Amino acid sequence: MTLKKDTILVIGACGQLGSELTMELRAMYGAANVVAADIQFPKQAELRESGPFEVIDVLAPQHLADLAKKYQFTQIYHLAAILSATGEKNPKFAWHLNMDGLFNVLDFALEQKVQKVYWPSSIAVFGPNTPRLHTPQHTIMDPNTVYGISKLAGEGWCNYYFEKYGLDVRSLRYPGLIGYKALPGGGTTDYAVDIYHQALAKGTYKCFLTADTRLPMMYMPDALKATLDLMHAPAEQVKIRSSYNLAAMSFTPQEITASIQRHFPTFTITYEPDGRQQIADSWPQTIDDQVARQDWGWNPSYTLDSMTDDMLLNLKRTHN
Residues 25-44 touching ligand NAD, rule: CB under 6 A, are 38-40
Minimal distance, residue 58 CB to ligand NAD, in Å: 4
15 binds ligand NAD (CB under 6 A): yes
**Alpha carbons 151 and 188: distance in angstroms, whole number:** 15
Question: Are the C-beta atoms of residues 25 and 75 closer than 8 Å to each other?
Answer: no
Q: Name the 3-class secondary structure at 224.
A: helix
Catalytic residue among 29, 118, 147, 180, which? 147
Outline where the chain has alpha helix (H): 16-29, 45-50, 61-70, 84-87, 91-95, 101-111, 146-165, 191-201, 220-232, 253-261, 276-281, 290-296, 304-319
- Among the candidate windows 14-22, 137-145, 234-242, 291-299, which touches ligand NAD by CB under 6 A? 14-22
Question: Are the C-beta atoms of residues 29 and 6 closer than 8 Å to each other?
Answer: yes
**Alpha carbons 265 and 139: distance in angstroms, whole number:** 41
**Among 8, 11, 85, 149, contact with ligand NAD (rule: CB under 6 A):** 11
Minimal distance, residue 57 CB to ligand NAD, in Å: 4
Question: Which residue, 96 or 263, has its beta carbon nearer to ligand NAD?
Answer: 96
Active site residue 147: yes
279 binds ligand NAD (CB under 6 A): no
Residue 317's CB: how many other CB atoms inside 10 A? Answer: 8
Query: What mask of x and - would describe binding to ligand NAD in positions 139 to 178, judged by CB under 6 A?
Result: -----------------------------------x-xx-
**Alpha carbons 192 and 215: distance in angstroms, whole number:** 10
| Catalytic residue positions, numbered | 147
Point out which residues bind ligand NAD (CB under 6 A): 11-12, 14-18, 38-40, 56-59, 79-81, 83, 97, 120, 122, 174, 176-177, 184-185, 187, 189
